[in-house]
Structures are given as structure tokens and as C-alpha cells.
């Protein structure tokens, strides 16, 4: 916990950051696992072809969540403050009493 955002300088200053509606944007990330099929003469060629075209390969329609990968995606206090400018966010809301709504 020593390297967490909570132990970094200025974390306590975040108490002074207010929101007009009492809601804050917290960036999160997670990983998924999937597989693709690649046409090739052999496995080596398939791996090379996949690597060369990785950005144009469509995402899988049935990815699996990687257990334990869901995390808050903030490295420092500035990230937390800058996140409040995001306009695209999910519809999940954690109320001040801890209840989660979506």
C-alpha cells in the first residue's frame, strides 16, 4: 500500500475537490481474454500474420473477463483531478451510502 495513490503527497488535498452534483468520475480498466483464428501454412506464419495485422483484427464477440484485472486506473492525484473532465462514462453510480446502481 506504500506505493498506492492514497499514500502519495497531496492525496488529502482531494478532499477539497467538489462536484456540483456530488458525483465523481473514476477511471477504471479491466482485461479480457479471447482467441482468434488465423489462416496460414503453419503456426509460425499464423503468429507473424496475427502480429502484423493485430490492429485490424476485429475484437471477439465473446471475450472472457480476466479475474482480478478490474482496477481503478489512476496513477497520481493529477490523474484523479483530470478525470473529472471526461464526458464519456458508464451509467454505473456508487451512491454515498455504498449502494450501486446501473
- 3-state SS record for the chain: CCCCHHHCCCHHHHHHCCCCCCCCCCCEECCEECCCCCCCCCHHHHHHHHHHCCCCCCCCCCCEECCCCCEECCCCHHHHHHHHHCCCCCCCEECCCCCEEC
- pLDDT single digits (tens) 1-28: 445 777 767 777 788 888 878 888 888 9
> Which residue matches cell numbers 483464428?
37
Q: What pairs with residue 97 in β-bridges?
A: none
Rounded Cα gap, residues 39 and 91, in angstroms: 39
- pLDDT single digits (tens) 28-75: 999 999 999 899 999 999 999 999 999 998 888 899 999 999 998 888
pTM above 0.85, yes or no: no
Domain boundaries of the chain, sorted by first residue: 1-30+70-102, 31-67
CB 19 within 8 A of CB 81: no
Amino acid at each position: 500500500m506504500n506505493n498506492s495513490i492514497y499514500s502519495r503527497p497531496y492525496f488529502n488535498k482531494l478532499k477539497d475537490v467538489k462536484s456540483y452534483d456530488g458525483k465523481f468520475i473514476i477511471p477504471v480498466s479491466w482485461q479480457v481474454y479471447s482467441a482468434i483464428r488465423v489462416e496460414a501454412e503453419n503456426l509460425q506464419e499464423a503468429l507473424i500474420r496475427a502480429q502484423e495485422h493485430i490492429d485490424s483484427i476485429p475484437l471477439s464477440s465473446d471475450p472472457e473477463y480476466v479475474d482480478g484485472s478490474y482496477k481503478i486506473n489512476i496513477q497520481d492525484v493529477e490523474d484523479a483531478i483530470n478525470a473529472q473532465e471526461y464526458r464519456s462514462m458508464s451509467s454505473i453510480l456508487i451512491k454515498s451510502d455504498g449502494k450501486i446502481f446501473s
